[in-house]
């Protein structure tokens, strides 16, 4: 999905028609979001199979709810056992959980604007940069990579707690 987003991103930059630039730009934001969403949902499904069919809006709530609660419980157990390496890992995972939830919310909001609000234009800032709702395409391009890093931290702690 990410390769499609990158292609659409480049097409938006290279198009001369304002309408085509807007359409390709919107589609790039959409695909960057979906690239992130698919990876997040797949990673969460590896933690618990019942999370494999989560809807978009449910993921940030899950991260801020059940995932966060499980990590907090694990941190408390590790504190009681004096395992400060696991405590530190849980702290990192809790921060990653919060950051990933915010990233997903931002991505989802941008994707909704791209898909459902054509009256809000894609703003081409320069020959190689554009934004939608103050979110630059370069920031959107980083969503999948940032999500992957957060997921690695969360998964590492989760596996340690459930080993």
What pTM, to 2 d.p., does this model score? 0.94
Helix axes 84-116, 137-161, angle to 10 degrees: 140
**In the predicted structure, residue 131 carries a pLDDT above the cut 70:** yes
DSSP 65: I
Average pLDDT of the chain is 95
Tokens of residue 23, six digits: 């359409």
Instruction: For residue range 35-61, list pLDDT tens digits in order.
Output: 999 999 999 999 999 999 989 889 999
Instruction: For residue range 54-79, list pLDDT tens digits in order.
Output: 898 899 999 999 999 999 999 999 99
Instruction: For residue range 73-109, list pLDDT tens digits in order.
Output: 999 999 999 999 999 999 999 999 999 999 999 999 9
**In the predicted structure, residue 1 carries a pLDDT above the cut 90:** no
**In the predicted structure, residue 129 carries a pLDDT above the cut 80:** yes
User: What is the distance between the alpha carbons of residues 98 and 162, in angstroms, rounded to a whole number?
Assistant: 20
Residue boundaries of the structural domains of the chain = 2-161
pLDDT at 127: 78
**In the predicted structure, residue 13 carries a pLDDT above the cut 90:** yes
Instruction: Select from 71, 122, 131, 138 the least CA-distant residue to 101.
Output: 71
**In the predicted structure, residue 163 carries a pLDDT above the cut 80:** no
pLDDT at 162: 83
Instruction: For residue range 145-156, list pLDDT tens digits in order.
Output: 999 999 999 999
């Amino acid at each position: 999905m990410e390769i499609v987003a990158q292609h659409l991103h480049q097409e938006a930059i290279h198009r001369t028609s304002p309408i085509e630039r807007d359409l390709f730009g919107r589609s790039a934001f959409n695909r960057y979001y979906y690239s992130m969403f698919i990876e997040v949902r797949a990673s969460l499904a590896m933690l618990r199979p019942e999370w494999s069919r989560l809807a978009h809006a449910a993921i940030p709530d899950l991260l801020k709810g059940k995932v966060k609660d499980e990590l907090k419980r694990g941190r408390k157990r590790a504190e009681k056992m004096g395992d400060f390496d696991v405590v530190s890992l849980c702290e990192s995972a809790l921060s990653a959980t919060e950051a990933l939830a915010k990233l997903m919310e931002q991505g989802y909001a941008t994707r909704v604007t791209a898909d459902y609000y054509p009256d809000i234009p894609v703003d081409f800032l320069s020959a190689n940069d554009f934004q939608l709702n103050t979110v630059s395409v370069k920031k959107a391009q980083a969503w999948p990579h940032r999500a992957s890093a957060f997921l690695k931290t969360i998964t590492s702690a989760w596996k340690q707690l459930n080993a």
